[in-house]
Structure 1
């Protein structure tokens, strides 16, 4: 068996890899699918609810468990790929992703679907660390690598935005299961192409994989996410607060353990470098905000304005187009304006989008939402691309793989936590406004749980009562969206100030060297 080449040293200048752009196409195809699955169910949720009838908490788990599992495992799977081979990890993960898609598509219960989404997250966690680290190895020229990272970031960002569009088309013309079946042929073609095209790489390692650290990181992130979800929902029960504190404690133990290891899963000292920390925070909080926004706006389009799934998906297109434009322009702007300026402009545009949504007169109209989506997409494209470039370039070459894992962890965890945290805040604000309802008992509780529950109750009771319930739910959802937009704007403004303070003037992106 041919031994896989090791990570090139900082002084190596290897010849350009033949077929490198075809390899990038394979990696981007997989990345698009993994990123798309984070949001593809947003517009499929009403159809899914009618079929599986999940509770409000099951709805949130169906949407965000994928990103939480993926984000929680990325550090560990990145380390596994370094030791066992990045191509092997990539192909194994994508095969698992395809099998999990079949499990999810054949679900007959909410919990089977949640289980399928867990396996999708596991497969995605095996794929995503491999993409950026393989790009690091395949592209040996600094300028080509910077362009490849820009394309990688554009695909990752656009994937989250086109998910609702593709999901809406599939749901309306088929069923919600089609949102998963569409993965299978892409997986087959990509795996075959990957076997033929991709090279294998293993980084030089010393020591065994830190399985104790892996368990600490996974358990810490899961506990933290669970605690945030329930506390944000308004639950201050001892077990929920305790779970939140347990997550923080486990991650603190993980960080302390990594500081003592010669070959850690994650070199936490990297976070002591200002630009690295700023880029990680920018990615996490930008995706937290936009992930929740896409989720809530997709529901708003369908329940408040009555659009079909495909019509709702089409109306999220401004975010995808603006995201693509921002991502592809970011390398050019960084070259001429500097990293700090691009990060500030990107995050500032995100904040402006949320403020526009917050101050828009109610009831909110689609033209306003279209402008909001364009601002969110443009700002996210600029910020995420600049952040990914900063994370790779601000660390020594031997840590580039870990930098990629941090970038992808922040991206996916941000999407999952955005739905969990801001989705819960929106749910609590919605329920607080659903007080004067001409209902009683279980019908009243169901209507206060979610706008989907209110639509179901309105359909069952019918008549004037049904119309009153639906009107109240639409008004409450719109008002809660305003509240959530203010919270999101505050988060993004905070991280914008931190990024400007932590990234020094004149900081340059060098493509990984």
Structure 2
């Protein structure tokens, strides 16, 4: 006899709306800086590598602390941790908004990432507590993911609208009122939950995981700027070594920070692999495209943001429509179709010129993000649904950590590829008073009171080459990911088939134990 599971009431749905606010904000904060970077760089005299750290340190810190904060929430209470994180985020945004140099801004963005990490796993865990019926829980998880994906997509537009009338610091100040509202409402609409027998928090594992990620990314970004040097190679090697130590430690601990046993689940393993690789190239190319609209096309932040509206709408439509498609079509097929569509969009972007109308870029980017919306709308639900109910919290934290890490790493890795191609395009330019600035970054050259017209045209062409190469590589990667989806996730049945009991109970959504 099936046990009756109560439906969520008004308080639970109101609580969901409140939790969607910080989720939307976290998505926005991952990308809101893209259109603010040129003005910010001019004001704080930021070079290319500092730009990368300003944009991606936020995502790195979220990814590095997600699992840790999930464990901490179980110990002190998830609602309490959300409120503490919201308060810390508010302070960090104020510091970021009024930063006076690049170092101060990078530190503030890092603090925002740590604070943001307190909210993501706790909100997802509370959703599983508040919504017990499968269909209601699936809707709530879908709304959470749509807000995160939609926030990431709409971030550049928000930045453009703010920069029309305010300084670059305004892109940070928008977070303060949202967090204050969360602090006020959370005690009334969110339930408290804590583990009666919490596992100990292994701080050594926390330090190892963060040091491993930052070491690898630091080495790669610095090599893109200065070339291959021993110290940068050493940083990458040290990061990889620390990562190996982290994995070995997790295998020995009774209560590991990261349950490596989850990777024995083939559905989770394959879905995470596809999601994180896709996020790397999506995060990096988003950075390059938004910069292109201002630095190469010469648009102001608002007009650049408005040209991104078609792609924002396409991605939101894809992420919202994916679950509906997956009710009749196997999720692996839906995700594969989206990845192939995104690859086609990337191929269109390889033909974008450095002069003329930007509409080819607008169309190609809309196709790319529309395709990306399909796997984005299914990824987390597929991962969480592939494990036992008692593993759902760990699986959701793992999925969020991988997505955040992928998006942030993409800015560093793909952004570094674009920067390397850009500098190669300027290698034969004769030395002049402005050449050094141009080799630092295109924004540095544009900050000059009277940039040389010939040098500016060459620099814009070099930046366009960097974009074309990066999206070309991305097209190939996404095509391969589409094939991998067809091969590795084809055993996952359509949602309607799983609910009707017509599929293997070890493979269906909601009980996808896909071993």
Normalised to the residue count of structure 1, the TM-score between the two structures is 0.92
1:342 paired with 2:331, answer no
1:221 paired with 2:207, answer no
Contact 1:24 1:148 in 2 (8 A): yes
Deviation at 1:286, TM superposition (A): 2.0
1:468 paired with 2:460, answer no
CA distance in 1, matches of 2:511, 2:128: 9
Q: What residue number does 2:76 align with?
A: 84
After TM superposition, the structure 1 = structure 2 runs for residues 345-424 of structure 1, keeping only pairs within 5 Å, are 345-360=337-352, 363=355, 365-424=357-416
Contact 1:393 1:509 in 2 (8 A): yes
After TM superposition, the structure 1 = structure 2 runs for residues 491-506 of structure 1, keeping only pairs within 5 Å, are 491-506=477-492
Deviation at 1:12, TM superposition (A): 7.0
1:488 paired with 2:452, answer no
Q: Which moved more, 1:445-454 or 1:97-106?
A: 445-454
Q: 1:63 aligns with which of 55, 59, 79?
A: 55
Aligned residues: 497
After TM superposition, the structure 1 = structure 2 runs for residues 107-146 of structure 1, keeping only pairs within 5 Å, are 107-146=99-138
Moved over 6 A (4+): none
Deviation at 1:312, TM superposition (A): 0.8
1:16 paired with 2:7, answer yes
CA distance in 1, matches of 2:482, 2:252: 33
SS in 1 for 2:20: helix
CA distance in 2, matches of 1:236, 1:273: 38
Contact 1:397 1:512 in 2 (8 A): no
Contact 1:430 1:477 in 2 (8 A): yes
Q: Which moved more, 1:264-273 or 1:114-123?
A: 264-273
Q: What residue number does 1:106 align with?
A: 98
Contact 1:154 1:381 in 2 (8 A): no
Q: What residue number does 1:510 align with?
A: 510
Rate the CA distance shift 1:117–1:206 in 2: closer, same or farther, 3 A.
Answer: closer
Post-superposition CA distance 1:175-210 (Å, at most 9, x none): 101101111111111221112111112245454122
SS in 2 for 1:337: coil
Contact 1:157 1:380 in 2 (8 A): no
CA distance in 1, matches of 2:318, 2:279: 15
Q: What residue number does 1:6 align with?
A: none
CA distance in 1, matches of 2:174, 2:311: 22
The answer for unaligned runs of 5 or more in structure 2 is 494-507
Contact 1:400 1:512 in 2 (8 A): no
Rate the CA distance shift 1:12–1:54 in 2: closer, same or farther, 3 A.
Answer: farther
Q: 1:174 aligns with which of 157, 166, 169?
A: 166
Post-superposition CA distance 1:267-310 (Å, at most 9, x none): 11211222111221222222222212221111111111111111
Q: Which moved more, 1:352-361 or 1:154-163?
A: 352-361
Q: What residue number does 2:505 align with?
A: none
Give the aligned CA root-mean-square deviation in angstroms. Answer: 2.0
Normalised to the residue count of structure 2, the TM-score between the two structures is 0.92
Deviation at 1:158, TM superposition (A): 0.8
The answer for unaligned runs of 5 or more in structure 1 is 1-10
Q: Which moved more, 1:23-32 or 1:274-283?
A: 274-283
Contact 2:352 2:464 in 1 (8 A): no
CA distance in 2, matches of 1:113, 1:12: 53
Deviation at 1:378, TM superposition (A): 1.6
Deviation at 1:325, TM superposition (A): 0.6
Q: What residue number does 2:247 align with?
A: 255
Deviation at 1:435, TM superposition (A): 3.4
Post-superposition CA distance 1:447-467 (Å, at most 9, x none): 12211122234x33x5xxx11
Q: What residue number does 1:449 align with?
A: 440
Deviation at 1:501, TM superposition (A): 2.7
Q: 1:478 aligns with which of 458, 464, 476?
A: 464
Q: 1:274 aligns with which of 236, 251, 266?
A: 266
Rate the CA distance shift 1:292–1:365 in 2: closer, same or farther, 3 A.
Answer: farther
Rate the CA distance shift 1:311–1:17 in 2: closer, same or farther, 3 A.
Answer: same
SS in 1 for 2:328: helix
CA distance in 1, matches of 2:261, 2:311: 35
CA distance in 2, matches of 1:370, 1:440: 35
Contact 2:97 2:173 in 1 (8 A): yes
Rate the CA distance shift 1:228–1:280 in 2: closer, same or farther, 3 A.
Answer: farther
CA distance in 1, matches of 2:260, 2:237: 20
